[in-house]
Structures are given as C-alpha cells and as structure tokens.
A and B are shown apart, each in its own frame.
Chain A
Amino acid sequence: MAPSSVFPFMAGGAAHGTKLPVGAVTLHDLTATPRFGLKGGGSAAWLTAHGVSLPAINRIGSHHGMRILRLGNEDILLLAEGAGDALADLKAAWTKDTGPKAYSSWREEGWAWMRLSGRHVPQAMERLCALDLRAGAFGVDAIAQTRVGHIEAVTFRSQEGFDVLFDVTASAYFARATAAAAMDCIDLPIDMEGHI
C-alpha cells in the first residue's frame, strides 16, 4: 500500500505533502470525513430534543449510523462515517434553528482525525499514550481524553485499531511521532518516505 499524505489543509503549508506511515502500523487521515461538534450550555438539551440519545461522559453512543462522543456534560461530538446524510440533516436543522442551541465547536476544522491500524498498533499506542488502553481496561465504547504522542488528544477504539482526534495544526508532527513509535517498537519495515 502506498503511503497517503496528511490532509492538505493549506497548500504549501508546513504539513503539505507529509507522508503517513504504512506497514505494521498504518496511519489514515480521516480529517476530511464529516463531523459536527456542539459545546456550551444547551448542547445536550438541543441534541436530546432532536432525538439523539446521549451516552455518559467519556462514552460513545450511536444515532442513525453516527457515533456520538460525549466529551463533557455539554461537549458532544458527532462522527459520520457512512452516515454523512444523517449528520448533514442534523447540522442543517441546527443551522436553521433560531432558538437556544449552544454553539458549534468547529471540530470539522479545528481537529484532525487520524486512524491507526495494523497488527502492531497496540505496541505503538503503548509508546504514544501513557494510559492502559488494553481491551480489558479500555472498551469499545470508551473515550480517553489525554495525551497521545505528547499532544492533547481524544482517543477511542475503531474496528481497525484506534482513532485519535487532536489539534489539526499538529498533523505533520503526529504523523512523525507515530512513525517514530512504530520504528521504535518493531523491526518490520515502515515506509518513512517524507519523514526523515
């Protein structure tokens, strides 16, 4: 598999053309995938009023194919993979609503969304994150708001491995940090094109 590049947020920017590691630890950039975050007083009430059943804090729920991440009492993130229409409908309803509706946290622009996959992801995550993320301690519906690769991040499980959300301006750094962790924990070849 050829390495893909970091989501090109700004042509010619510092991250432009940065390649993502491929191999026993593979990084996919899902930053272009639709998502919608609400924050502030009234977030939970607005979503509940629109039929969204909210999980507990630091847990993941689902609604019409979207994943609902409860990052705080009034800080909720909706991720759409294959549920872009449902998310667009909800976002359109929120935009049109003139009543109390909290505010958009602009997660679709402020945060990068990366997915770690590959058979050595557990070992790589051990080096990137200090928390116990083993299956027995960190379930499929759990969220960890912590540091991953030394930067503030939100991480949770995906079918392939782990998803990580973090400040989009750290995309190139995160790609390099993940590649370095992968190189550190395995002796299998990792495509480092663009990293050194």
Chain B
Amino acid sequence: MKILTCPMNGPRNIDEFQSFGPVRAEPDPDRTADADWSRHLFRAENRKGIVVEWWRHVPSNYFFLAERDLVTNEVLRTFDASERWAHP
C-alpha cells in the first residue's frame, strides 16, 4: 500500500487521494504571444525533476500541494496551498 501524508488529515492510503496535475503558470492571454498561449493550452511538460502538484484528499475534499520527484516517484513533501500563495 502506498501512503501519502495529507497536511490536514495525516498519513492515508493513496486510494483516498485524487491527483489534479502540476501547478502551472497562469499567463495572461492578452499579453502572451499566440505560440506561447497555444503551448500553454495544448502541450504538457515531460521533463525529469521535481514537480509541484495539486492533490485532493477525497473524504475531506481538501486540496493541497505535493512535491514529487518525477524520476523516482517519491513524494518529497506535502503542504497547504497557503504556503505557496499568501491568498490562494
């Protein structure tokens, strides 16, 4: 069984979580070149390294962030979104 640690609820079976994908940049469509906007909409990154992802603990409907190593699949840490944005 894989265990993921929810910042609010503690360590839980990975089965209790839903992944919402990486946190992405939010370019302003009015100030972004068409090529860059197209890339933002339709292309997904496929790099090695550490990614910050949105996850949801389903029973409590709590969304949080996790840092995950894309090579080893190790979750380095999980944390509340308020740590990344003062006013998420």
Contacts and interface: CB of A to CB of B under 8 A. Distances in A.
A146 B12 contact: yes
Interface in B63-87: none
B13 A145 contact: no
Q: How large is the interface on A (under 10, 10 to 19, 20 to 34, 35 or more residues)?
A: 10 to 19
Given A146-B16, A147-B15, A147-B16, A58 B9 contact: yes
B62 interface: yes
A144 B16 CA distance: 12
Contacts of B16: 146-147
Interface string B5-19: 000110011011000
A72 B62 contact: yes
A135 B12 CA distance: 19
A131 B16 CA distance: 12
Interface string B24-61: 00000000000000000000000000000000011111
Nearest to A154: B59
A177 interface: no
B62 A146 contact: no
A130 interface: yes
Contacts of A130: 13
A52 interface: no
B59 A153 contact: yes
Interface of B: 8-9, 12-13, 15-16, 57-62
21 contacts: A57-B8, A58-B8, A72-B8, A72-B60, A72-B62, A130-B13, A131-B12, A144-B9, A145-B9, A145-B57, A145-B59, A145-B60, A146-B9, A146-B16, A146-B59, A147-B13, A147-B16, A152-B58, A152-B59, A153-B59, A154-B59
Interface of A: 57-58, 71-72, 75, 130-131, 144-147, 152-154
Given A71-B60, A75-B61, A145-B57, 5 more contacts: A58-B9, A72-B62, A144-B9, A145-B9, A147-B16
